[in-house]
């Protein structure tokens, strides 16, 4: 008689935000990209709604969580650190539902003095992450900054470098042939570098910031309405009602993401501005997936794995931070040499499909948790 190994069962504590004004910065892959990737890897996944720390959760959320999950048992629980806080009762319950607890850290934990001066909260990120990791008694962690592996290993948590991904279904190797001859910067404005970039007169006629079609659609308002309904009725919701909320949220998030991707595809290039987090953010791989060329700051030699993820002038174009003339040179070439732009766009899509889909990244994470296998990213 053949023994059939049952599928893994994972409780995924989905980080969401109360209102679209904050939620728009959170990537589609961060919840529903994970969900589909788990399913594609043969995992039974249950989503549990949880929200950011910027507005206090109403009382009794642990009771809601228990009703939302029902009688299900789990092998692993995955949850986010830094952008949310776990009340003690909920933290204790989450620790009890699965023997393996995986924390996802979506930001770098170390920052330069100038960055901390601009945004003082960054100075606390490392301590916050370690405190939460200990609170949740994590067994494993997924980090977007390869340099943060060691500080987690030091406290007994097995950490894996986890470059961000894009679902394979959204990788498009055939973008529209005649894009608008400008570069789009789909990012918020913070810090001196970004302000200088937006204000530079030499880029004025080459840089566009939106809005993109997703922001002009009815879906952001629907997002807010869904969460209003959830917070007004969560005390009475059982598992079927929670499933209905998640299903509706999934549809709204997916429609917004489709419009966002279609909007990026309209432009000749996508500019990734300097950022505090020392990795390729989600907008880089998402923009690549549209077939457009991404312009992004050079990666430090201190991050050798990150630096090798994409090949310069083949998959991506790098610029030196502060060198706005280099950005202008790049975008002008892309506008005037569409064959060059198409070549880079196609190469980037091929690289994503081979190494950076959500399905592949989740498979690597599951293998790392099971056996400690070191992933190959290139």
Contacts of 118 (CB under 8 A, 6+ apart): 190, 191, 192
CATH class of 168-216+257-355: alpha beta
Angle at 135 between CA 131 and CA 139, to 5 degrees: 100
pTM: 0.95
Residue 54, pLDDT score = 80
Residue 41 CA: distances (Å) to CA of 164, 251, 349: 17, 22, 22
| 9-163+356-371 and 168-216+257-355: identical CATH topology | yes
Question: Which residues touch 174 (CB under 8 Å, ≥6 apart)?
Answer: 291
Q: If the chain, 378 residues long, is cut into consecutive pieces of 10 residues, what is the mean pLDDT of each piece?
A: 76 96 94 98 97 84 93 96 93 94 98 96 98 97 98 98 98 82 95 94 95 96 97 94 97 98 96 96 97 97 98 98 96 96 96 98 98 96
For residues 62 and 92, what is the distance between their CA atoms, to the nearest angstrom? 10
Report the pLDDT value the prediction gives residue 1, as an integer from 0 to 100: 46
What superfamily in CATH does domain 9-163+356-371 come from?
A: Glycogen Phosphorylase B; (3.40.50.2000)
Return d(Cα 204, Cα 199) in angstroms, integer: 8
Domain boundaries, the chain: 9-163+356-371, 168-216+257-355
Closest C-alpha among 285, 80, 21 to residue 170: 285
CB contact at 8 A, 213 and 310 = no
Separation of alpha carbons 111 and 127, rounded Å: 12
Nearest Cα to Cα of residue 268 among 294, 244, 245, 286 = 294
The region that residue 321 occupies, defined by phi over 0 for left and psi between -120 and 50 for alpha, beta otherwise, is beta
Cα dist from 137 to 140, 152, 161, whole Å:
9, 12, 19
Write out the two tokens for 22.
């904050």
H or E element that contains 77:
strand 76-80
């Amino acid at each position: 008689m053949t023994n059939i190994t049952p599928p893994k069962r994972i409780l995924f504590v989905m980080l969401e935000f109360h209102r679209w004004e904050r939620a728009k910065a959170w990537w589609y892959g961060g919840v529903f990209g994970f969900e589909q990737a788990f399913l594609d890897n043969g995992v039974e996944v249950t989503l549990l709604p949880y929200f950011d720390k910027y507005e206090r959760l109403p009382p009794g959320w642990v009771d809601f969580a228990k009703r939302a999950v029902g009688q299900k048992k789990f092998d692993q629980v995955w949850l986010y650190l830094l952008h949310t806080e776990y009340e003690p009762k909920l933290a204790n319950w989450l620790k009890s539902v699965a023997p393996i607890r995986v924390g996802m850290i979506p930001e770098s934990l170390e920052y330069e003095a100038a960055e901390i001066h601009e945004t003082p909260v960054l100075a606390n990120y490392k301590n916050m992450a370690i405190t939460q990791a200990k609170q949740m008694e994590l067994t494993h962690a997924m980090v977007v900054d390869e340099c943060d592996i060691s500080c987690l290993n030091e406290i007994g948590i097995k950490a894996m470098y986890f470059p961000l991904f894009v679902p394979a279904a959204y990788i498009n190797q055939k973008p529209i042939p005649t894009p608008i001859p400008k570069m789009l910067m789909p990012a918020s404005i913070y810090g001196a570098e970004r302000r200088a970039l937006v204000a530079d007169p030499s880029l004025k006629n080459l840089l566009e910031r939106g809005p993109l079609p997703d922001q002009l659609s009815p879906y952001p308002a629907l997002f807010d309405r869904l969460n209003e309904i959830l917070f007004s009725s969560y005390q009475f919701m059982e598992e079927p009602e929670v499933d209905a909320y998640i299903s509706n949220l999934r549809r709204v998030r997916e429609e917004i993401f489709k419009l966002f991707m279609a909007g990026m595809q309209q432009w000749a290039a996508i500019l990734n501005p300097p950022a505090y987090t020392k990795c390729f953010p989600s907008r880089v791989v998402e923009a690549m997936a549209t077939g457009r060329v991404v312009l992004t700051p050079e990666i430090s030699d201190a991050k050798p794995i990150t630096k090798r993820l994409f090949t310069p002038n083949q998959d991506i174009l790098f610029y030196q931070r502060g060198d706005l003339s280099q950005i202008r040179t790049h975008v002008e070439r892309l506008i005037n040499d569409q064959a060059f732009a198409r070549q880079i766009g196609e190469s980037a899509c091929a690289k994503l499909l081979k190494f950076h889909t959500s399905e592949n990244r989740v498979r690597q994470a599951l293998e790392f948790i099971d056996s400690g296998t070191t992933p190959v990213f290139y």
